[in-house]
Amino acid sequence: MKKMRKVLAALLCVAMIAGVAVGCGSKDAEPKEKAKLNVVALTGPTGMGMVKLMADNEAGETAVDYSVELVGAADEITGKIVNGEVDIAAVPCNLASVLYNKTEGGVKIAAVNTLGVLYMLEANGGETIQSVADLAGKTIVTTGKGTTPEYILNYILKANGLDPESDVTIEYKSEASEVSALIQQGGAEIAMLPQPMVTTVMAKTEGVRVALDMTEEWAKAQGETGTQLVTGTIIVRSDVLENNKEAVDTFLKEYEASINYINENVTEGAELVAKYEIIPSAAIAEKAIPACNMVFMSGQDMQQSVAAYLEVLAEANPASVGGALPDENFYYLP
């Protein structure tokens, strides 16, 4: 009988231990609450790469819980960053520098998401512009007086031996839609426009061709440095990086995957771009995506291209980068 009691006691002990182990296992299996990040992006190329991430987030398939807002103008983002309303933003490269200076290091640049999106168009069936040098004596219609398109155009013209003041005539319009209308009405022979406006114009107007890819011309002007023309970037609030680095790094990985998906699955990506109303027409989006130069560039490559681009802008107008070039703390190099 004593032996039986010992066996029962031993079995009871094993059962209790097993129960504890099962209890611990079920506790460990409880789903970990996702980190949360507020993200804002511009409509247009700088926001296009975000759409797959947005769709995955809505389906609950992302590792971080994102609140993503799309806005129409860069000015809308500035206040949100300064006030701490958003953690991460997709913004023009020069605005990243402006915000770094304005917030005294309150943001860092983590990646380049868009290279150049400017193209020189020749209308009315023309074939005369085969190189930058062929622009000599021509009239170029464009937008962006006193902003980055002017500085980029002037830099490329000068790199090819042309004086923007005397060798060409540049007519600046206030809106890209004005330039588009002139091309469609036959009132402009040569024009510089950004994507996706370029694709829209070419779809609506016969006899318009891309004469020069300004991203390629920038690379030629930069020579052996290998630096790229930069349009869009990802910035992160410095305090968010300090307090939630793991979530930020996860975002960057999921965002890179989103960009890669759009570039590799253009038809499906175009449907998402239209769904989120970045470009209303999926057909136009499908044609525009390959020309929008969406990339994910981080680390030293990002730093070198951004620094070279900002130097050109600062030389043209220091205010365009916030009054001074940012120091090395501007760059998030994980």
Whether 67 shows a pLDDT value over 60: the answer reads yes
- Give the range of the structural domain holding residue 81, as residue numbers without chain letter: 36-114+228-330
Closest CA to 310 of 95, 124, 67: 95
**Does residue 13 form part of some domain?**
no
**Does residue 15 form part of some domain?**
no
Closest CA to 333 of 295, 307, 294: 307
**Does residue 26 form part of some domain?**
no
Whether 24 shows a pLDDT value over 60: the answer reads no
Burial letters 118-146, b for 16+ CB under 10 A, else e: bbbbbbeeeeebeebebbeebebbbbbee
Closest CA to 50 of 306, 204, 225, 256: 256
Both 45 and 107 in one domain: the answer is yes
Whether 79 shows a pLDDT value over 50: the answer reads yes
Q: What is the pLDDT of residues 264-316, one digit of tens each?
A: 999 999 999 999 999 889 999 999 999 999 999 999 999 999 999 999 999 99
Both 220 and 257 in one domain: the answer is no
Average of per-residue pLDDT values in the chain: 90
Whether 17 shows a pLDDT value over 50: the answer reads no
pLDDT given at position 46: 80
pLDDT given at position 29: 54
pLDDT given at position 193: 96
Provide the whole-model pTM.
0.87
pLDDT given at position 99: 96
Instruction: Give the neighbor-by-neighbor strand order of the sheet with 139-143.
Output: 169-173, 139-143, 190-194, 118-122, 209-213
Both 130 and 277 in one domain: the answer is no
Whether 19 shows a pLDDT value over 60: the answer reads no
Both 70 and 199 in one domain: the answer is no
Backbone conformation region of residue 293, classed left if phi is above 0, alpha if psi is from -120 to 50, else beta: left
What residues are paired with 170 via a beta bridge? 140
Q: What is the rounded distance in angstroms from the CA atom of residue 191 to the CA atom of residue 198?
A: 10
Both 81 and 212 in one domain: the answer is no
Mean pLDDT check: name the lowest of 16-25, 162-171, 210-219: 16-25
**Does residue 28 form part of some domain?**
no
Q: What is the rounded distance in angstroms from the CA atom of residue 132 to the CA atom of residue 165?
A: 15
Both 103 and 238 in one domain: the answer is yes
**Does residue 293 form part of some domain?**
yes
pLDDT band at 208 (very low <50, low <70, confident <90, very high): very high
Both 217 and 235 in one domain: the answer is no
CATH number of 172's domain:
3.40.190.10
Average pLDDT of the segment spanning 13-41: 63
Q: Which two tokens stand for residue 208?
A: 């318009």
**Does residue 5 form part of some domain?**
no
End-of-domain residue from the set 225, 243, 275: 225
Both 136 and 89 in one domain: the answer is no
Both 110 and 237 in one domain: the answer is yes
Q: What is the pLDDT of residues 157-205, one digit of tens each?
A: 999 999 999 999 999 999 999 999 999 999 999 999 999 999 999 999 9
Provide the residue type at 238 as one letter: S
End-of-domain residue from the set 174, 192, 225: 225
Phi, psi of 229 (to 5 degrees): -70, 130
Instruction: Give the neighbor-by-neighbor strand order of the sheet with 88-92.
Output: 65-71, 36-42, 88-92, 230-237, 107-115, 294-297
Burial letters 4-16, b for 16+ CB under 10 A, else e: eeeeeeeeeeeee
**DSSP conformation class of 92:** E
pLDDT given at position 10: 47
Both 210 and 254 in one domain: the answer is no
**How far separated are the first and last CA of the chain, in Å rounded?**
68
Q: What is the rounded distance in angstroms from the CA atom of residue 5 to the CA atom of residue 105?
A: 72
Average pLDDT of the segment spanning 66-70: 95
Q: What is the rounded distance in angstroms from the CA atom of residue 248 to the CA atom of residue 35?
A: 10
In Å, how far are 47, 122, 133, 257 from 160, measured between CA atoms? 32, 19, 6, 37
Whether 326 shows a pLDDT value over 50: the answer reads yes
Both 197 and 275 in one domain: the answer is no
User: What percent of the chain has pLDDT above 70?
Assistant: 91
Q: What is the pLDDT of residues 108-153, one digit of tens each?
A: 999 999 999 999 999 989 899 999 999 999 999 999 999 999 999 9
**DSSP conformation class of 73:** -
**Does residue 4 form part of some domain?**
no
Burial letters 310-334, b for 16+ CB under 10 A, else e: bebbbebeeebbbeebbeeebbbee
Both 51 and 110 in one domain: the answer is yes
Q: What is the rounded distance in angstroms from the CA atom of residue 43 to the CA atom of residue 70?
A: 6
Domain count of the fold of the chain: 2
Q: Which two tokens stand for residue 222?
A: 């930069």
End-of-domain residue from the set 190, 225, 260: 225
**Does residue 232 form part of some domain?**
yes
Q: What is the rounded distance in angstroms from the CA atom of residue 39 to the CA atom of residue 190?
A: 38
